[in-house]
Structure formats: C-alpha cells, structure tokens
Copies of this chain bind each other. A is one copy, B any other.
Amino acid sequence: MRISELSERTGVPVATLKYYLRERLLHAGTPLGATRADYDESHVERVRLVRTLIDVGRLTIDRVGEVVRALEDPPDSRHDLLGVAHRVLRNPGEANGASDPLIDALGWRIAPNSVARGQLAAALERARRDGLEVSPETFATFAEAAELIAESDVRAELGEAPAAEALQYVILGNVLTDGVVIALRRLAQEHVSAQRFASPG
C-alpha cells in the first residue's frame, strides 16, 4: 500500500509517518521509484505499536526508538529480554539498583543494578515524602499480590515465543494492563467496602 493508505489504516497523518521513517521508528517500505514506496501489514502493526507506546505508555520518541532497536535485535536470553522491557518503561530520574529496607527484606532474586528496584525505591520515597509511610505489613500484602500478577505476566509460554514477539508482548502487556490492575484495585475496594460497611442488599 502507499503511504496515504497506511495513514488511513492507522489514523496517523502522512507527515507524522514520514517523521517516524526519518527517526527510524518505522522501517522503510519497498521502493517503487525515487519518491514512492510500498508498505505492508508489518508497517501497520509497527505504527500501532509506536502510537500505543506514545499515547498510553507516555514514552518519549527516544524511548520508542530504544524499543524498536530492541525488537530488531532482541537479546538471546529471556531474562535479559525482560531487563530491556523494564529499561524502556523506566521513569526519568530513578536510580538503577537503588535500595530500600522494604525491598531488601523481600528476599527476591533481583539484580544489584535492577531498573525495577530503582523504580520501586523511588515510588516508596515519593510516598514517604508526601507523608504516607507504607508499613511492612501493607508492603508484604502488596508484594504477595504483585507476585501473583507477575506469575501470570511471565508465563512459561514466553520462553517458547520468538524473542521479538515475546519482547513486544511483555512491553505492551505492562503498558496496557497497568491501568487494568489499578482500576481493578478501585473496584475491589468498592467490593470489600460494600461487604464491610454498606447495609445489605
């Protein structure tokens, strides 16, 4: 298809698609002469991924570029692949491998320079600074819940999928279902509160 049709299919303006091509977020089409090229379903899929990372994941263009390069040359090990996913999803200003007594007490198998460790230490520090100390009991409950979710996220099947596909799944899975987890937390609060405080019926 021509770039105009790729634009129609994805809802992304032609000028923006050309920008993605220049920034190498989108791979080149098959040349059809000096100024035209042919695009296929792989381009439609890539444009949708880029839009999701920007619109839902709030990733910068640079960060999307990191995702694309990782998809084009994914690491061999499944565990390194998760590390790549976490690196592109990290928030600005968080120190890799930061420590926190609550994290240290978990006993989980976490790399010393882990990005996820820095993200969690920063979130705990933000809460404390704004006057909310997460108690060890609350943290242990959150950790138990997070492990349940992670078991589902890091399924055995991921070990079988092609590396690029597994990487895309892990990144999109985090970007798109963080909102589901948070919304479920609110809905569960309503359910628990109804059982505890509301009149029956």
Distance in angstroms between the alpha carbons of A179 and B186 in the assembled complex: 14
Number of interface residues of A (CB under 8 A): 78
* Contact partner, A193, options B79, B184, B195, Cβ 8 Å: B79
**Residues A189 and B150 in contact, CB atoms below 8 Å apart:** yes
**Residues B198 and A79 in contact, CB atoms below 8 Å apart:** yes
Determine if A182 is an interface residue (Cβ-Cβ < 8 Å): yes
Determine if A105 is an interface residue (Cβ-Cβ < 8 Å): no
Which of the segments A14-22, A28-36, A64-72, A141-149 contacts the partner chain?
A: A141-149
Interface residues of A (CB under 8 A from B): 48, 51-52, 56, 77-79, 82-83, 86, 89, 103, 106, 108-111, 114-117, 119-120, 122-124, 126-127, 130-132, 134, 137-139, 141-154, 156, 159, 170, 172-174, 176-198
